[in-house]
Every structure is written in structure tokens, then in C-alpha cells.
A and B are shown apart, each in its own frame.
Chain A
Amino acid sequence: MSDVTRAEVCAAACADLFRGDGEIVAAAVAGFVPMLGSRLARATFAPDLLTTDGGPSLSAEPVPLGGSAETAEGWLPFRDHLWLVLNGRRHVVMGPSQIDAHGNTNISCIGDWEQPKRQLLGVRGGPGNTLLNPTSYWVPKHSTRVFTEKVDMVSGVGWDRGAHEIRAVVTNLAVLDFDTPDRRMRLRSVHPGVGVGDVTAATGFDLVVPDEVPETRPPDGEELRIMREVLDPKGLREREVPA
């Protein structure tokens, strides 16, 4: 299958976040693309993953985006989700409003906390997620506003503040990880059609850029079929990634 879209590359990259995770809950709360990625991983190489229908049901099978679980294999109301954070059998994908070079993130507010310039959500589950669970991030629009030298409020802790594991950041341009001696953000791969310079220009701090930056793998034929025909026939993934 050709004419692979950027959103499909991103979704496959999000699926890859869960490689090796085993029998844990994939909590992809950041949007359609990581949600699709987690279900795609379960439908292909990570069948032991647990996924939800977006509500409190753990679905017996990965369900299409926007659908609800026909068969539930478990119940995960908010209180048990919060228990699971402490228990640790969970890998969460969140969406940061700001992220720095060590993976500290902010979803709380922009500006001075006492009287913010822009109030956002509040810290939500960010402090617990990042301290106790493997955490990844999804950024649909990679920009210097998001990738910033210093976040205004640390709602998700980074590698330099005791994070359990900040695994990777998938954006509309690239995949970034922290596979460096001092856990500073590194460019792991650029999506097909994206240049290294596009990524560094859209990043507000110095990224670690290896001499050779590979291209993010495209989804294979089976993955494309599952995304297009089974898990996201309405193409919700395309709405989330800027053209």
C-alpha cells in the first residue's frame, strides 16, 4: 500500500511506544493518534496489552476509535485508574502544552502560577503518571511554543526530576527519545518528508542530533489495513495532524 499519510506514520510510531510492555494498561489519553497507536499495537505485535474504549471499560478486543466496547473484559473506573497509577502496570501517553529537554511537561497554566496568563487544565494526573509509570507524549503540532527551554509549571516530572521513565515523544514531525548519557532529548527519527532542520527549527532548545538520523518506519501493509478498515475507518487520525 502506498500513499501513506503522515497521521498513519505517527500512529505506527505511537504503536511502537508499547513494544515490550507486556500485559499492562495502555492509557493513551492524549488524542486519537496515540489511542489508535495503542490499539494497533494490541491488534498486531502486542496482543497482551489492555486497552479501554475511552470510558471505564477494558475492552475484550481493541475497539475502533469512537466506538464502545461490545465485550468488556474488565472495569476501570477513575478510582481504579488512579490505583493503577500507583501500582505501575500502566504506560500512559499524555499531551503536553510545554515540554523541555529532559521531558518535564506542563498542562497546568502558562505564565506565573499565582495569576497565569493562560489557565489550562491543571496538573491532572501528570505528577503521579510520570513519577510511577512509563510515560510517553504525543504532540500533534511540533513547535517552539511546545518545545521550550523551561516549562512554566512542572506538572509532569522529567528525567532530571525523578521520572520513572519518559520513553519517547512522537510528534507530527519526528520521534524523540532520551537515549543519551544525561537523558537529554534526542532526535531518534524524522518522518518521511521531514528534514532534520525542520525539527530543530521547531524546537526551542538544543536537541541532541546524531550524525545519522533515520527515517521513521512507515506502517506495513497489514498495519495500514487495520487502521483504515478496522480501527479508524472514519479517518479521525487525519483530523489531528496538520496537513
Chain B
Amino acid sequence: MSKVMSPEEVAASLESGMTVGIGGWGSRRKPMALVRAILRSPVTDLTVVTYGGPDVGLLCAAGRIRRLVTAFVTMDSIPLEPHFRQARQSGSIELTEYDEGMFMFGLYAAAHRLPFLPTPVGLGSDVLKVNPELKTIRSPYEDGQELVAVPALNMDVALVHMNRADARGNAQYLGPDPYMDDLFAKAAARTYVSCERLVDTADFAKEGPVQSLLISRAQVTGVVETPNGAHFTDCVPDFGRDERFQKLYAQSAADPEQWAAFSDRFLSGDEAAYQDAVRVWREENR
């Protein structure tokens, strides 16, 4: 009954060429430990579907993304993501660029097994121009309104990070915003949940109200306990964003030599090595 796995096992279950959804939002509650596990695996040629943050940046830096489907890529306190910018400016990734609400409707459509959902959003903008595959549809009712038919954002795999989970895959968020993580879980064929702490099912009620149980085990294939696993994005209330480390990341990303040093120091070992290296860096920079 236990679905507990290691980050390596999650990464090993992925195949190159897959469509992978990543939960969170910008630099908020991203499944960074699982992204780091992908970086250590040979998986590549991915189509990544996400409200993008440094997860996208790390995967771009390692050349793992073929196509990105998103509405933005940002680190919130640092608006622009340097690796994503570099990837776009060098033409090394393809992009499907939607409005934030269109993107959400794509998730809703996939979660409900619908081929598309209609929305007026996108009309008049260049979103339709840069996505020539997008079609419009006319309301069959009296209003006759023209609407964009946002196609379902179906995914092979979704990766999300939650505050708590049990071994069966039920997962709980304790921060102020669920983001779209439940929609990612429902939209994907397989979902892997990493969490700050595995708890007994009976202990969920000690942590938060029943409506904080965002994701059901019916949608979950595997669970990974990764303390500090959203680092350096935030995972409220367990921890806030590591702004200083994010700044180091952004500065390093802007320069190839510094990026090599950053990678060498933080990304050359496993998750435990990453967390150790971060701890040492924090000690040095207190």
C-alpha cells in the first residue's frame, strides 16, 4: 500500500520526450528536489507544462526542455529568470505561450477529460498569432460569441510539492494558496508528490482542516519525503523563500564561469549533498 519512493526512483520512471507538468507557481512551492533528481538523470527532450519559475531555469540550463508551455517564467522577487531568458534568446527551446487564465482552463480541461474549454481570453492578443494551432469556436447559443478553444493540457506525469503527505499518497497543503497543484494531479496520467514531511493519515487533522487535503491518493502514483525539498522557492508555513540563495542562483546564472562553480558546488551530488552544501553556504554567509 505504501507508495513511498526516492527522488531517484521518480526520475528513473520518466522517459525522454515525455510531457511533464510541474506544480507550484513562479518561485513558490516548486518540487525542486524532484527537478534536481531529473537533472541527475539522463531524461531529456521534455515538454514542460508549468507556471514557470527556477524549475524551468534549472531544466533549461541543463538542456532538458524541448518545449515549454507556460504563461510566464519568474522568480517573483527577481522578476526575470536568467536561464529561461538565455534559452529563449538563443532559440534553444520551443515555447507555447498562454495567458494565465487560458493555462488554467487547459488544466481544467485535462482534469475533466475534456478536449478543450472555451474562454474569450486570448482574443485580440498576439497569443493567437504565436500559437497558430489554437482554434476559436462560436457559442451555439443566441449570444453567438466567439471564444478560444483552449486545448486540454494533458500530461504524462505531474510533479508537485506539498507540506504533508501520507504513505498512500494523500497530500496536504498548509500555506495560503493551493496554486493549481490538484489540477496538475488530476490532469496527468501519473502524479508524484514530494512533501516536507510524511505523516500518519490520522495526523493530517492535527496539521490543518480537512479542506487542506488537496490531493487524493486516487491521483497519486508515488510519494517522496524531501525535507526542504522546495528550496530555494518557498513552502509556507514550513519555510519562506531563501532570497539570498535565490540571488546567488540568479547571479551565477548570468555568467557561464560562475554557473559552472554553482553547479559544481550545489548540483553535482544527490539531494542530501545539495542540502548539506546549502547549509554550509548559509553558515559561511551568516
- Point out residues on A near B: beta carbons under 8 Å: 55-57, 75, 77-79, 82, 85-86, 108-109, 113-128, 130-132, 153-157, 161-163
Contact = CB atoms under 8 A, between A and B. Distances in A.
Nearest to A76: B177
B72 A122 contact: yes
A56 B125 CA distance: 27
A141 to B, nearest CB: 15
Interface string B45-89: 000000010000000000000000011111000011000110011
Interface stretch (B36-44, B99-107, B189-197, B251-259): B99-107
Q: Which of A75, A123, A162 has most chain B Cβ within 10 Å?
A: A123
Contacts of B123: 127, 131, 157, 162
A127 B72 contact: no
B125 A161 contact: yes
Interface of B: 25, 52, 70-74, 79-80, 84-85, 88-91, 97-102, 104, 119-127, 129-130, 176-180
Contacts of B25: 78
Given A123-B97, A127-B99, A118 B85 contact: yes
Contact of B98 (A78, A123, A157, A162): A123
Nearest to B86: A119
B88 A121 contact: no
A153 B126 contact: yes
B121 A128 contact: yes
A156 B122 CA distance: 9
Contacts of A119: 80, 84-85, 88-89
Contacts of B84: 119
B119 A163 contact: no
A123 B99 contact: yes
B23 to A, nearest CB: 12
A114 B91 contact: yes
Contacts of B176: 55-57, 75, 77
B89 A115 contact: yes
A96 B86 CA distance: 21
Contacts of A86: 101, 119-121
B197 to A, nearest CB: 22
Given A121-B72, A121-B74, A123-B99, A82 B124 contact: no
Given A56-B176, A86-B121, A127 B127 contact: yes
Contacts of B89: 115-119
Given A56-B176, A57-B176, A123 B71 contact: yes
Contact of B125 (A85, A116, A126): A126
B104 A82 contact: yes
Contacts of A155: 125-127
A90 to B, nearest CB: 12
Q: Which 3 A-B pairs have the closest CB atoms?
A: A122-B72, A157-B124, A128-B121
Given A78-B179, A123-B127, A127-B127, A85 B88 contact: no
A115 B85 CA distance: 10
